[in-house]
Structure formats: structure tokens, C-alpha cells
């Protein structure tokens, strides 16, 4: 075929860690190791494009090739898949616009030339897809032939152009499991108490919506969930809490870190009193902590706030098996599409009704032109949030549910999950 391009490839990870980003890396590696006639060598860049500029590269083929020349699934790829965070490290570098700093891109191209890199795979979220878009844009004006592909990743599920994102399902499964356990925990006493759980996602409420999944599955979910897509009203919130107390003494709330008042101020901006700590810093309380204080003042009852914090994005020990599998397939498809001639695209996920699965869920992986994807945020549709702004609809939960299905057959070492380190 006339579009055959032979040379090395480089893969990088960028943005915040997830439980599935190494599964996408494993997918890229598996497809590259399986196609060494075209992709002669696969480099990993340490710390994304930042490390690439410093030529901090690691040859991945030797680490992931079995003795018979095939990809080493059992010894290396599967342990890599169950390792959270970015095994190659990450960065948060925003590239300049090609027209504004062509010198930057010339330096990149000289490095690509040096290592004969003809394929560039970048796994990440919004900023990373921006990197892919800009690099593809520059390459259209360059005589250096290289194919650039984005592999989606973000727990926030807020990327445009794809049904959902790898990493979201695992974070959703962690959050839903924790919520169910927290609700059980909070139910043991008869004393009135409110527990407020703060969940990641500053602009999109997908993860906060996932906190309500136990309501669909077991009934042991939070009384209310508050998403950043709709304005937060303190009086309405107090009314919600009061109504929940009429049903049971243990009220549990899930709230997005990005919950905002109608005037646009974050709930978590907290005190307006100008209070400072011993070091002179203004207190930034966080959303749950602010609501904890508000409920304490209003109801005088026991209140506890819980921030699920980093564990929700790196909870590989309770990853969704479907999520990891999909993440890997996105990585594989990026390689196969690039070999086939595609460039300047992200692998998008398209959901379809698949009667081969008991839950009727199917997903296919298709390259999508990158330019329309970066720098926009996909939020939870208004019609999936109830009119009272304090919960999501069953339709929303039914949409999320397939993404948390399946459990990883974790490999353990001395009682802890075994992780794979790219030394």
C-alpha cells in the first residue's frame, strides 16, 4: 500500500493519573510489538512532551516482548494494566501555537528526525489532545512525515467527541463502592447526623453522578447529589437536608468540588471573613468542609465531611474490568489507525447496542479528527439532572452503569496489588 510508513514510534502520557491510563499504554505497546515490520521500535517518553524535549526516552520493546517475539501479556502487559497512575510519568505542558513559535516545533522535528520517529501517540485528556492537535497542525506545513494520534483519558469523562473516556468507569466504580460503604457506615447510629462527600470534577458532574449509582443497584446511596452543571442554592440545600431527616437520621450527601452558587462563586471558596491561619494564608476550605460548617450552624447536629481526594483517580484495586479493556483497545486502535494512514485524530468510543453482552452494551473505537475535540468540556445534560437540582435521573445512572461492570483479576504480592514499574 502506498501509505506505508516505516520507522520508530514514541508514546507519552500526560495530565492527571487514572486507574486506566496504563491500560491504554499497554494497548499501544501490544499493537506496536505486534507490528515491528512497520513500527520498528517503540520509545516511551518520560513525563510526556516535557521529557521528550530532554530526550528522556526508554525503549519499550525489550521490556514487553516475550521470548517468542510476541507481546508479553502475562509477565508485563497485564501487571502494567493493573498499575495506577502514569508508568511513564506525566507533565502539564501546554504547547505554543505553531504560528507563534515555529522554533519550538522545529526543535521537536529535529528530535523526531534524530530518532526516526514516524508515529507519535499521546494518551491524555483535554490538554493532551490540544498537544496532538497543534502538532498535527504544524506537521501539515512540514516536510517531515509523522503520524500523530491521541488516546483519550480522563476520570472526568468531559472530553468532546467520544461517548465516554477511559478512566471514568474505574473512578466511577471506586466512587460508587465507597459511597455504598459510607452509607452503610453512617447508618449504624440512631443519632441525627449528616455526612457530606466531596467528589472530583470541577466543571463536569459525571463522577458526582456516579456517586448515586448505589441508589440504582442496592438502594444504599446518598440522599442527594449536587453537580456543578446547575447552580447550588444554600437555602434549597437546607430544605433538602430537612426533608431527608424526615425519612431517616443519617443523611448522606455527595457534592462536586466544582459546585457553584448562581453568581458563579465556588461553594468551596468558603469563608468571607478573611480568616487566616498562623502562616497568614487565607483558608480555602473545600466544598464539603464549607457545607459541613453550614449544616452544623443550621441544624446543630453531628456533621462530617469526607473528600475522596486522590484515591478516586488511582483506585486500581477496584478498577472496572470493562474500563481497562476499553482503555487498552483505544490504545491498540490508535496504533492500527496510524499504521493505516490516519493522523491528527483521537480514538473515540461509540456505544452501540450489543446483544452479545447480557447488559446489551457494546462499544467500538473509531478515529476522529482532533481539531474539534480539544478545549471544550462535555457536561452532564440538563435533562439528566432532576428539576430540583439535587439529584440525577435514573436515565443518567443507567447510562453510567455499564461502564463500571466487571472486576479485574488482580495479581497480588504479599497482600497488596502487584504494580509494574518501567525502571
Is residue 271 helix, strand or coil? Answer: coil
Is residue 175 near a second copy by the rule CB under 8 A? no
Q: x/- binding map, residues 87-126, to a second copy, per CB under 8 A?
A: --xxxx----------------------------------
Using the contact rule CB under 8 A, the part of the chain among 130-138, 200-208, 309-317, 379-387 near a second copy is 309-317
Q: For this structure, is 156 an active site residue? A: yes
Closest to a second copy by CB, 113 vs 184, is 184
- Using CB under 8 A, which residues numbered 231 to 270 contact a second copy? 270
Q: Which residue, 214 or 344, is less far from a second copy as judged by CB?
A: 214
In 25-85, where do the E strands start and end?
A: 39-45, 57-59
Instruction: Give the integer Cα–Cα distance in Å for 195 and 313.
Output: 21
Position 281 contacts a second copy (CB under 8 A): yes
- If one asks whether residue 413 binds a second copy (CB under 8 A), the answer comes out as yes
Decide whether 90 or 157 has the Cβ nearer to a second copy: 90
Minimum CB separation of residue 278 from a second copy in Å reads 5
Residue closest to 179 by CA, chosen among 227, 220, 240, 226: 220
Interface with a second copy includes 423 (CB under 8 A)?
A: no
Which of these segments, 94-102, 144-152, 306-314, 343-351, binds a second copy (CB under 8 A)?
306-314
Q: Strand 57-59 relative to strand 39-45: parallel, antiparallel, unpaired?
A: antiparallel
Is 154 buried (19+), middle (13-18) or exposed (0-12) by CB count in 10 A?
buried
Q: How far apart are the first and last CA of the chain?
A: 38
Q: Which residue in the set 72, 178, 240, 257 belongs to the binding site for a second copy (CB under 8 A)?
A: 178
Residues 370-409 that bind a second copy (CB under 8 A): 401, 404-407
Out of 72, 127, 130, 156, which one is annotated catalytic? 156
In the bound complex, what is the minimum distance in angstroms from residue 118's beta carbon to a second copy? Answer: 27
Q: In whole angstroms, what is the distance from residue 6 CA to residue 152 CA?
A: 25
**Helix-helix angle 126-139:102-114, to 10 degrees:** 80
In the complex with a second copy, the residue whose CB is nearer, 319 or 349, is: 319
Please select the residue that binds a second copy; options are 55, 145, 181, 383, rule is CB under 8 A.
181
CB atoms within 10 A of CB 418: 13
DSSP state of 401: G
CA distance 255 to 307: 10
Residue 346 exposed, middle or buried by CB count within 10 Å (0-12, 13-18, 19+): buried
> Taking CB under 8 A as the criterion, which residues in 9-68 touch a second copy?
13, 17, 47, 50
Total chain residues near a second copy (CB under 8 A) = 78
Distance CA 242, CA 259 (A): 20
Facing residues of 148 across strands? 120
Residue closer to a second copy (CB basis): 217 or 377:
217
314 makes contact with a second copy (CB under 8 A): yes
Out of 233, 307, 351, 369, point to the residue binding a second copy (CB under 8 A). Answer: 307
Q: Per-residue contact track with a second copy, 140 to 159, x per CB under 8 A?
A: --------------------
User: How many helices and strands, by DSSP H and E, does the chain display?
Assistant: 13, 13
Least Å distance, CB 71 to a second copy, is 23
Q: How far is CA 218 from CA 2, 176, 214, in A?
A: 56, 11, 5
- Nearest distance from C-beta of residue 93 to a second copy, angstroms: 11
Q: d(Cα 156, Cα 313) in Å, to the nearest integer?
A: 9
Query: Mind telling me the catalytic residues?
Result: 156
Amino acid at each position: 500500500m502506498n501509505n506505508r510508513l516505516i520507522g520508530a514510534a514514541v508514546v507519552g502520557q500526560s495530565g492527571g493519573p487514572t486507574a486506566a491510563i496504563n491500560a491504554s499504554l499497554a494497548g499501544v505497546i501490544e499493537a506496536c510489538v505486534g507490528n515491528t515490520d512497520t513500527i520498528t521500535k517503540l520509545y516511551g517518553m518520560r513525563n510526556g512532551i516535557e521529557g521528550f524535549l530532554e530526550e528522556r526516552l526508554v525503549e519499550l520493546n525489550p521490556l514487553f516482548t516475550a521470548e517468542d517475539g510476541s507481546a508479553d501479556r502475562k509477565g508485563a502487559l497485564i501487571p502494567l494494566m493493573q498499575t495506577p497512575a502514569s508508568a511513564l510519568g506525566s507533565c502539564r505542558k501546554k504547547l505554543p501555537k505553531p504560528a507563534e513559535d515555529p522554533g519550538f516545533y522545529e526543535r521537536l522535528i529535529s528530535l523526531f528526525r534524530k530518532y526516526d520517529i514516524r508515529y507519535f501517540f499521546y494518551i491524555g485528556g483535554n490538554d493532551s489532545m490540544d498537544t496532538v492537535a497543534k502538532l498535527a497542525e504544524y506537521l501539515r506545513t512540514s516536510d517531515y512525515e509523522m503520524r500523530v494520534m491521541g488516546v483519550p483519558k480522563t476520570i472526568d469523562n468531559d472530553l468532546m467527541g467520544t461517548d465516554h473516556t477511559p478512566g471514568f468507569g474505574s473512578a466511577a466504580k471506586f466512587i460508587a463502592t465507597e459511597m455504598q460503604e459510607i452509607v452503610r457506615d453512617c447508618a449504624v447510629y440512631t443519632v441525627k447526623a449528616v455526612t457530606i462527600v466531596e467528589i472530583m470534577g470541577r466543571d463536569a458532574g459525571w463522577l458526582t453522578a456516579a456517586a448515586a449509582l448505589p441508589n440504582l443497584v442496592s438502594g444504599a446511596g446518598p440522599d442527594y447529589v449536587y453537580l456543578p452543571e446547575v447552580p447550588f442554592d444554600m437555602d434549597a440545600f437546607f430544605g433538602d437536608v430537612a426533608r431527608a431527616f424526615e425519612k431517616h437520621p443519617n443523611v448522606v450527601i455527595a457534592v462536586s468540588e466544582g459546585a457553584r452558587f448562581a453568581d458563579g462563586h465556588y461553594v468551596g471558596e468558603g469563608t468571607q471573613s478573611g480568616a487566616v491561619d498562623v502562616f497568614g494564608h487565607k483558608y480555602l476550605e473545600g466544598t464539603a468542609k464549607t457545607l459541613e460548617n453550614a449544616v452544623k450552624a443550621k441544624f446543630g447536629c453531628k456533621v462530617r465531611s469526607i473528600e475522596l481526594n486522590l484515591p478516586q483517580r488511582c483506585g486500581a484495586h477496584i478498577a472496572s474490568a470493562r474500563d481497562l479493556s476499553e482503555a487498552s483497545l483505544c490504545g491498540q486502535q490508535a496504533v492500527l489507525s496510524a499504521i493505516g494512514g490516519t493522523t491528527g485524530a483521537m480514538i473515540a468510543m461509540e456505544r452501540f447496542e450489543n446483544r452479545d453482552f447480557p447488559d446489551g452494551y457494546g462499544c467500538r473505537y473509531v478515529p476522529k479528527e482532533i481539531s474539534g475535540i480539544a478545549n471544550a468540556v462535555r457536561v452532564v445534560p440538563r435533562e439528566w439532572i432532576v428539576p430540583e437540582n439535587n439529584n440525577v435521573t435514573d436515565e443518567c445512572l443507567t447510562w453510567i452503569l455499564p461502564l463500571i461492570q466487571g472486576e479485574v483479576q488482580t495479581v497480588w504480592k504479599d497482600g497488596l496489588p502487584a504494580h509494574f514499574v518501567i525502571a
